[in-house]
A and B are shown apart, each in its own frame.
Chain A
Amino acid sequence: MGTRANDIFSGKRRWLLHVVLIIISLAFLVPILWMIITSLKNTNQVFTWPPILIPSPANWLNYPQALKVSNFGRYFFNTVFLSFWVILGNLFSCTLAAYGFARLEWKGRDVVFIIVLATLVLPDQVTLVPLFIVFRNLNLVGGGYKGYLPLILPFWFGKAYYIFMMRQFFMGIPKDLSDAARIDGCSELGILWRIMIPLSKPALIAVSIFTLLNTWNDFLNPLVYIQDPKFYTISIGLANFQDRYMTQWNQLMAAAAMMSLPVLIVFIIAQKQFVQGISMTGLK
């Protein structure tokens, strides 16, 4: 993170800047606030004019009620379970590949890396139908935990975005460290495991967080592959909730809040890593 702020605005303009920024940040915050406020209202407080800004007493019962009708607890667990395997696989495969692209010299390496980058540009929909057919033929569509495999497997075999991120980071680690280890007789795998990875904690955390966010957010893939309601992820759960309880806004907002809260908390705790991770991808 840079330490020098480059002031375009100076002097008397600063208070104006503050005002502008306060208004803007509030505008961004309001929808989230409104979600929480609505979730604490009684049904007869939802449709009022002027709108009630602070429901009192706050109806916290909307939350357990929403949980009861929608089985959200189960979906939450499912999504965490799924995320665990996805993150694990991603860390495994992308560090391996990133090391191969960043620290090893081999013929054709840069050409292959361009192919990796090219896959970033491929929209999901292009591969959706054949992948569905393949997984269907392998009997992985439908019930049970095996329905998660179509969502987990691709991450165990390297995702371009994260390979790119880790490669950037690996390239920033001084070469002397690995050269020295190599001379000492360490294998490449050993170098990766004992030197590169311990030094890459910030990047690994960033990758994990982004993968978590990605899995939490994913809607198309669970929609297509997960059939059994017991195994729904939280995104499908909320979509179903919307279908059936469209008019009960207070409960719907409670459900939406429950879906958002975990990732918001992760974000607040790991803000720095979030920001660092994003910065790493842009700079080149």
Chain B
Amino acid sequence: MNNKRLFTLASVILVLSMVLTACGASATKAPAAATQAPAAGGPVVTITFWHGFNAHEVDFLNGIIAKYWTPTHPNIKVVTTGNKSNDDMLTAMSGGDSPDVIMGGSSEVATLWASQGAIIDLTSAIQPIKAQLESEDVPAGLEWGMYQGKYYALPFVNYNWGLYYNKDLFTAAGLDPNKPPTTVDELKADAIKLTKVDASGNITQLGWMPLNDEWRALNFIMNQGGKFYDPATGAPTFNDPNIVSAFQWDLDLQNTFGLSKVTAFTTGFNQGDNPFQLGKVAMYIDGCWNPEFFKLNAPNLHYGVAAIPYSDPKYANANDLGTNPIMIPVASKHQKEALEFAIFFATNKDIAREFSAEISNLPQITSELTTFTQDPNTQFFAQLSTSANAAAWAPVPYSQKYLDEMTSAIGQMYNSGVAPKDALDAAQQILLQDAKGYTK
């Protein structure tokens, strides 16, 4: 072939490929065909339900469905698949074999997926029960499911974080085991009293677990008045002065003993080991599911739970109320049945109560908060979830990236010695850029 022919051929292939790509990409917009709901006694429709629970929770979930759903809905068979990560669900939703109902493994995905058109707008479907939902459900739990004023996800068993403190270590340090710190000043004083150092300056007991974990950090920050986003514009505000000062406060506290010493201490535990459980850390922030866990694995641990200390009373009792969002993928081929199931599952009081008790989370329905457990510690968390300052920390489309940027910033501040102002300014720039891509 001479050069001219070769060039022509190459150009044709080039143009053809680009045209094909453009055509192929837009050809996949076909909306899912809605199937007719069968009349009672009619053919059985099978829908698939993906969730992120694993091990024995999978069996429990199946049991719950068999107990409450199946007897009253013989026409719609629900097949569950557990241990699905958010990434798994996303890839499946974008393909041809999408599950019909999904329960996200984290709260943050709902807004992202809503903004990308991956899940359906539930607003019209839940119109009949909207009033009921808003009056019965814990208000903060509903936040994660909303995007641009519309409902895209229904909350299911919520969870939050609080302060855990070791009563025995308190007593040993001369502190009142029934009086955990309520302000950050008290927290600092107690932390210093509760930290023990050996002759070479290495830490043998730590008073306050550092905020080098994004969940501890953001819950703490909420109690310092830190705002992560502007509700009016949806823009991130990661370098909010209260957030910068919160990290600075923590770093200053850790530097009392030397940040590197503290890091060496906290990384010396095995992955999966809980230093608080081992009695090596006196106070830390963790989730509402721990009381059950401690009952099983550390029955001799004498601990108490409390609200995270605040910098100002008006921020008191703040906590990030997460949920397990129930969503319907756009690509589901049985949207009507999926909706029926999702609404049933999210509003059934018995299911909320039993499932919360089983996985040590909190019912999303307020009336069940007082009856679902006998454990006083869990009851405390349940009450905390109705506080005025309980909220979704960042129900914005870029919350997934927000978490990742927070993790990176934390790494920089706690491992590489970058000042909070600089780390957060840098992360804020990234997030601002990222957030722009989500305005439609």
A and B: interacting chains? yes
Task: Tell me, in angstroms, the Cα distance from A22 to B84 when the chains sit together.
Answer: 46
22 pairs of residues in contact across A and B, judged by CB atoms under 8 Å: A108-B1, A130-B21, A133-B24, A134-B24, A136-B94, A137-B25, A137-B28, A139-B96, A141-B92, A141-B95, A141-B96, A142-B95, A142-B96, A144-B97, A224-B91, A227-B91, A229-B81, A240-B83, A244-B54, A244-B55, A247-B270, A247-B271
Residue numbers of A with Cβ under 8 A of B are: 47, 108, 130, 133-134, 136-137, 139, 141-144, 224, 227-229, 240, 244, 246-247
Chain B 20-52, CB-CB to A under 8 Å as 1, else 0, gives 010011011000000000000000000000000
Q: Would A247 and B88 be within 8 Å (CB), given that A137-B28, A229-B83, A240-B83 are in contact?
A: no
Q: How large is the interface on B (under 10, 10 to 19, 20 to 34, 35 or more residues)?
A: 20 to 34
B residues apposed to A, CB below 8 Å: 1, 21, 24-25, 27-28, 54-55, 81, 83, 88, 91-92, 94-98, 270-273
Chain B residues within an 8 Å CB radius of A47: 270
Shortest 6 CB-CB distances between A and B: which pairs?
A142-B97, A247-B272, A139-B96, A141-B95, A142-B95, A143-B97
Closest chain A residue to B21, Cβ basis:
A130
Contacts A130-B21, A224-B91 given; does A244 touch B96 at CB 8 Å? no
Give bound CA distance, A229 to B91, whole Å: 14
Contacts A130-B21, A133-B24, A247-B273: A227 and B95 contacting too (C-beta < 8 A)? yes
Decide: A136 and B92 in contact? CB cutoff 8 A: no
The minimal Cβ–Cβ distance linking A79 to chain B, given in whole angstroms, is 19
On whether the beta carbons of A246 and B24 are closer than 8 Å, the reply is: no
Chain B residues near A134 (CB-CB < 8 A): 24
Question: Do A227 and B272 have beta carbons less than 8 Å apart?
Answer: no
On chain B, the residues within 8 Å of A141 by CB distance are 91-92, 94-97
Contacts of A224 in B (CB 8 A): 91
Nearest residue (CB) in A for B17 is A130
C-alpha gap A20/B209 in the complex (Å) = 47
Q: Which residues of A contact B28 (CB under 8 A)?
A: 136-137
In the assembled complex, which residues on chain B have CB atoms less than 8 Å from the CB atom of A139?
95-97
Docked-complex contact B96 and A246, CB < 8 angstroms = no
A211-B140 Cα distance, complex, nearest whole Å = 53
Question: Closest CB-CB distance, A6 to chain B, in whole Å?
Answer: 48
Task: List residues of chain B with CB within 8 A of the CB of A228.
Answer: 81
Q: Closest Cβ of chain B: how far from A44's Cβ, in Å?
A: 14
Residues of chain A within 8 A of B272, CB atoms compared: 246-247
The answer to whether A244 and B83 touch across the interface, beta carbons within 8 angstroms, is yes
A227: contacting residue among B88, B270, B271, B273, CB under 8 A? B88
A247 — which chain B residues lie within 8 A by C-beta? 270-273
On whether the beta carbons of A142 and B92 are closer than 8 Å, the reply is: yes
Residues of A within 8 A of B98 (CB): 142
Which residues of B sit under 8 angstroms from A133, Cβ to Cβ? 24-25
B21 / chain A contacts, CB cutoff of 8 Å:
130
The answer to whether A227 touches B97 (Cβ under 8 A) is yes
B48 to chain A, nearest CB (A): 9
**Known pairs A136-B28, A141-B92, A240-B83. 16 more at Cβ < 8 A?**
A47-B270, A130-B21, A136-B94, A136-B95, A137-B27, A141-B91, A141-B94, A142-B95, A144-B97, A227-B88, A227-B95, A229-B83, A244-B54, A244-B83, A246-B271, A247-B272
Please give me the residue from chain B that is nearest to A224 by CB atom. Answer: B91
Query: CB-nearest residue of chain B relative to A47?
Result: B270
